[in-house]
A and B are shown apart, each in its own frame.
Chain A
Amino acid sequence: MHEMSLAEGILQLVEDTARREAAKRVKTVVLEIGRMSSVEPDALRFCFGSVTHGSIAQGAELEIVSVPGAGWCMICAETVAMNELFGACPKCGSYQVQAVSGTEMRVKEIEIE
C-alpha cells in the first residue's frame, strides 16, 4: 500500500549516490528487505519501475535480498526464528520476543557505469 512512497525514498538515495559518483547510468539497485517489514516485494518492483521512469535509474534491475525474521526470547534467553512481528516464541509460546532482524528496509548497493 505504501510501496510507492518507499520507491520514491529509494530513488532519492540512488540519485544522490549516482550524482556524487558521476555515474551515467544505474544498472542494478540492491535492497535488503526484512520479511517482517510489511513491504510487498512485487508491489515494490512495480512502483520502482514507475518512479524511475525518466530518471538516471530508468531500466535498472531491482534485486531484493530477503532477510529472515529473528527475535530474542527473554524467557528462553536465545535467538529464535520469527515469522510475524509481535508473534509468539516458537519454543515457549511467550510473547516476550524482541525482533532483532527481519524489519530492515535498506538500500544496500548500486551498480553504476
Chain B
Amino acid sequence: MCTVCGCGAGETRIEGEANEHSHEHTHVHEDGSVHSHDHGDGHQHSHAAAVAGVHEHRHQHADGSEHAHSHVHQGEHAHAHDHHHEHAVGADLDYGSGPARAHAPGLSQSRMVQIEQDILSKNNTYAAANRSWFDEHGVFALNLVSSPGSGKTALLVKTIELLKGKVAINVVEGDQQTSNDAERIRATGVQALQINTGKGCHLDGHMVGHAMQRMQPADESLFLIENVGNLVCPAAFDLGEQHKVAILSVTEGEDKPLKYPDMFAAADVMLLNKCDLLPYLEFDADLAEANARRVNPHLTIFRVSASSGDGLSAWVSWIESGLEAQRGKRAETVDNLKARIAELERKLAAS
C-alpha cells in the first residue's frame, strides 16, 4: 500500500510471476535478529521485539483458540518451546490472565504501551537491510526517479554503454506493466530484472530485496534501480540505495522542483536531461537549477543529453567515484574482520 496516494498493492509481479505465494521468507526484527518461517500453514502469528534470538509468538488457530509461547532461536530453525495455552472456552473467568499477570480487586488492567514507530517503519526496515548488504559487498546502488518520459531508460542505456567494460552492472526496472524497459537494458548485454507493480505507483524496499536475491549482484558492482515514473510516491519509500537521482528533462517546466518538492528534496543528484533540445525551447536551465536548489541546497546537478552524449562524462565519473567509496567501505569491513580475527587468535594463543 502506498501511504502517499493510496494506490493498492498485491499485483506485484517480478518478470511476470506473481510474488504472492505461500513461501518461506526471512524477517529482520527490530532487535536485529533474523528469523525465517513459512506462511502456507494456515496460522497467523506476531513477533515480539525481544532480546536477540528470543521470540514470543501468539498463534491464532482456525478453531478460534489461541495460544502464546516463547522460544529461543538456535541458528535458523531449532526451537525450544515453552507453551502457555489460553483456550477460548473456559478462559472467561481467569482474572490473572491479563497483561499485568496479576489482579487486585477493582484495579483495571488498562495501560499504555509505547509504540514510537514511524507509519512507514516497515519499509524502512527492509531498506536498512538492503543498504547494509550493499555496504558489506561494496555495491554502489542508485535509485533513479522522475516523471514518465523524462528519458530515464535512454539515459541508463547510455550510462551502461560507457561503464560496462569497467564494472559489473545489474539493473532493476520498475513499471506498472510490460517488460519493455528490461528488454531495452538487456540489449546492452547487462543483466536486467523487470518488476511490474500492477496497481502500485512505486517500488518498495521489500520488492528490491527480492530482486537482489534473484540477481545476486557481484561484489563491488553497480546496482541501478529505475523506479516507476512518478514524481510523488517514490520520494517517501527508501529502497536502501546510496543516492536517489532525480531526472528532469528540459521539455518539462522549470518549476517542476517547486511543484513536486518532496522528490527533489529526497534526491542527492539531479540530471537535467535532453539538453541538446535547449536551442529549440523556451526553457531557462538556470532557473530550473535555481528552483531545484531552493528546495534542496545540497543538490549536485549535471546537465546531460542521452541522445547526443553531452555532459555524460561528468555523470559517469561521479558514478565511478561513488563505486570507489563503496569499495572503500567494503575494504573497511574486511579489514575490521581481519583485525578481529587477529585479536581473537592472539587471545587464544595467550590463554
Contact = CB atoms under 8 A, between A and B. Distances in A.
Interface of A: 1-2, 4-6, 8-10, 12-14, 16-17, 19-23, 27, 74, 85-86, 95-96, 98, 104-113
22 contacts: A1-B5, A1-B6, A2-B5, A5-B1, A5-B5, A9-B119, A13-B117, A19-B46, A19-B58, A20-B48, A21-B113, A22-B68, A23-B113, A104-B118, A105-B119, A106-B119, A107-B116, A107-B119, A109-B114, A111-B112, A112-B112, A113-B98
A90 B245 CA distance: 30
Interface in B239-272: 258, 261-262, 265
Interface stretch (B103-111, B169-177, B191-199, B319-327): B103-111
What 6 A-B pairs come out closest when comparing CB atoms?
A: A113-B110, A5-B6, A95-B294, A9-B119, A19-B46, A86-B261
Given A5-B1, A5-B6, A20-B58, A113 B116 contact: no
Contacts of A95: 294-295, 297
Nearest to A97: B297
B199 to A, nearest CB: 12
B281 interface: no
Contacts of A5: 1-6
Contact of A17 (B1, B115, B258, B261): B115
Contacts of B98: 22, 113
Contacts of A12: 122
A85 B117 CA distance: 22
Interface residues of B, number: 36
B99 interface: yes
B45 to A, nearest CB: 9
Interface string B116-133: 111111100000000000
A109 B120 contact: no
A27 to B, nearest CB: 6
B56 interface: yes
Contact of A105 (B5, B58, B120, B258): B120
A96 B113 contact: no
Nearest to B265: A86
A108 B4 contact: no
Contacts of B109: 113
Nearest to B45: A19
A21 B119 CA distance: 19
A58 to B, nearest CB: 16
Interface in B81-113: 98-99, 108-113
A96 B48 CA distance: 42
